[in-house]
Chain A
Amino acid sequence: MLMTRRSILAAGALMAMPGLARAQTGAFKGKTLTVASWQNYGADDPATLKMFTDMTGATVKNVFFTSEDGLLQMLRQGGLGQIDVCLPNLQYVLPGAQQSLFAAIDTAKVMTWKDLEPRFADDPSIRLDGKVYATPWVQGATSLAVNPTAFPTPPKSWKVLWEPSSQGKVGFFDDPTTAIMTAALYLGENPQKPDLERVRTALLDLKKNVKLFWSSGDDWNKAYTTGAITMGNLWSGLAGTLKTNGTAVDFVFPDDGTVVWGDTWAIVKDAPNLDLAYAWINFVTSPAYFVQWITKPGSNQQLAVPVNQQAIKALPQAASDKLMAGRLVGYRGKVALQAGLSAADLKRWTQLWEEVKAS
């Protein structure tokens, strides 16, 4: 026990001092950590995986899901006892914990915990019965994006998506919580507890303007770069990537507020390699990891803003600007945080969104 605890501490310390990595090689030699995540999203970045292997001696087996519900399903249907750590969205931590899919996290074993932004680290939605079930990892906003050619002065409100003149030009994210929260912001309702009937009417109105319900960054990119859509809601990370690659896009935090999301690392219940799982969480939340991942990402990696404040400080300015980290962290307007819905509410919201799409 002492031995493993020390190796975790060592692994944690190493994040701060990568030069020591060689000396500690092999603390977990021969072990394999099974990691469930989205594809091309940090956990499968080859260079950082090599860092992890160099440091711990363990190898990583990646398992991919294509939706948050897919992740919970994966755990329910045979993932327990196989998968060590997984990457649920903040919104899905509570449903997962309620279904006993995650193990409680001992925050004392997470070296980076003190550096995490309080907005996420103190959020009630990662806690159940006084225990913590996830370590916040990265964040982003799903805010208003417009084509500057169509909008020389950027609009200041979500209202623009509802204007009659926007007909057939809107790309809207196909996700129940984002959709309902965005509509709630537009209506001036409480985004956590909106009047669902008003939201339904607003979304049905919006649908008349929508050209495409996008579900992946690729969907958006294709439609936007060909001019099929000129506005919509978009992930901050994607807007940054588009800008860096030379595509003109204005990313707006509207006056009526914006939707913010977070992705977190949770340890799966009955994880075969519990200590190694902590070593992983310590690794991926460390500044050293983020600097490597964000400045030299593998091909096609989708990046996001660290929740670890020290990691943001450690990033070069250009990389930080590309992610719009400063704008996101510095934003002081109204925030609809995608979190805290009960499983029953989530189901109700999902059904509402399904019905809007099917109408």
Chain B
Amino acid sequence: MSGSPRRRLRDAEAVSPFMVAILGLCLTILFVPLVIIIFLSFNASPYGTFPFESTLKWYVALFTTSNLLGPTLLSLEISALVALNAALFGTMAAVWLDRRASRFGGGLFRIGLLSAITVPWLILGLAMLLVMNAIGLGRSLVSIYLGLLATTLPYVVFIVVARLRSLDHDLDHAARSLGARPFTSFLRITAPLLLPSIVSGTLIAFMVSFNNFLIQYFLAPFGVQTLPLKIYTLIRVGYLPDLNALATIIVLVTCLLIAILHRLGLRSAGLPGGATP
């Protein structure tokens, strides 16, 4: 029975040093493989062997001889398109789910969305290919766009619906009773309140589609290589550290984006939940 009741209160809310230490350990473990990638990108040996000899040649190679930038750019373009469309369609569907869905229709739509993220993408990807072949789209950019869109929509919808739930519907009603058309009231009142969740939904959609190897593996047209596909072909034949150099740059750009997001004070509210690799 040490300390005043007041101290004990504070103690109850704070977290034990033990837990914080484990958090630190966990973060370290998470970052060790990344540090290894970065380390190897500066090592002269092409086989990742020692002694360590620092060099920038893999970075030079990345921008001159290696064919990695094309696939990176393609991945960025596809993911940006998919993420923006997922944001638009997902938000629309979320509004529908929240405001207009019948119990049955809403339930059905939810099950469809849930299937898109709970069926292993290995299975879903090949099932998509079977359908695309049947309707004549086959492996094509349209197929890959549709496939990625289907696997990213659920994240946007669920995040935005969660936000809509917590919104005060009275605001919307008030605007409408003052004569605002539903669309105007949505645009002026609801949309700004939804914006953070839409932004985080878009970001997650971008991430998911950028790294979705399995869907791309099954649906990408032959000869078109997105970054994950390029990496897959390279690791089959043995890759050079210029790939590590690219990964390092991607990690650094991500860090930068994250620092900016943090500066902007964007709430991480949307981040938890559902992103699958």
Contacts and interface: CB of A to CB of B under 8 A. Distances in A.
Do the two shown chains form a genuine complex with each other? Answer: yes
Interface of A: 34, 36, 38-41, 46, 61, 63-66, 74, 77-79, 82-83, 215-218, 221, 225, 299-300, 302
A65 B235 CA distance: 13
17 contacts: A34-B223, A38-B237, A39-B233, A39-B236, A40-B237, A40-B238, A61-B223, A78-B139, A78-B222, A82-B222, A82-B223, A216-B238, A218-B236, A218-B239, A225-B49, A299-B240, A300-B240
A217 B133 CA distance: 33
Contacts of B236: 39, 66, 215-216, 218
Contacts of A65: 222
A217 B237 contact: yes
Contacts of B65: 46, 299
Given A36-B223, A40-B238, 19 more contacts: A38-B237, A39-B236, A40-B237, A46-B65, A63-B223, A74-B222, A77-B133, A77-B222, A83-B222, A216-B236, A216-B238, A217-B237, A218-B235, A218-B236, A218-B238, A221-B47, A225-B47, A299-B65, A300-B237
Contacts of B133: 77
Contacts of A221: 47, 238
Nearest to B236: A216
Nearest to A215: B236
Contacts of A302: 237
A39 B234 contact: yes
Interface of B: 46-47, 49, 61, 65, 133, 138-140, 221-223, 225, 232-240
B61 to A, nearest CB: 8
Nearest to B133: A77
Nearest to B132: A77
Contacts of B138: 77-78
Top-6 shortest CB links A-B = A218-B238, A63-B223, A74-B222, A216-B236, A78-B138, A39-B233
A226 to B, nearest CB: 10
Contact of B233 (A36, A46, A66, A217): A66
Nearest to A302: B237
Contact of B238 (A61, A74, A82, A300): A300
Contacts of B239: 218, 300
Contact of A217 (B49, B238, B240): B238
A257 to B, nearest CB: 28
Nearest to A63: B223
Contacts of A82: 222-223
Contacts of A61: 223
A270 to B, nearest CB: 15
B153 to A, nearest CB: 26
B141 to A, nearest CB: 12
A225 B47 CA distance: 10
B39 to A, nearest CB: 17
Nearest to A216: B236
Nearest to B224: A63
B225 A64 contact: yes
A79 B224 CA distance: 12
A39 B239 CA distance: 11
B130 to A, nearest CB: 11
A217 B221 CA distance: 26
Nearest to B48: A222
Contacts of B232: 66
Contacts of A218: 235-239
Contacts of A79: 222
Contacts of A64: 225, 233
A131 to B, nearest CB: 26
Interface centre among B133, B222, B225, B235 (most CB of A within 10 A): B222
Contacts of B238: 40, 216-218, 221, 300
Nearest to B234: A39
Contacts of A46: 65
Nearest to A44: B67
A65 B233 CA distance: 8
A195 B138 CA distance: 40
Nearest to B225: A64
Contacts of B49: 225
Interface centre among B47, B49, B225, B237 (most CB of A within 10 A): B237
A78 B236 CA distance: 24
Contacts of B46: 299-300
Contacts of B235: 216, 218
B144 to A, nearest CB: 13
A36 B222 CA distance: 9
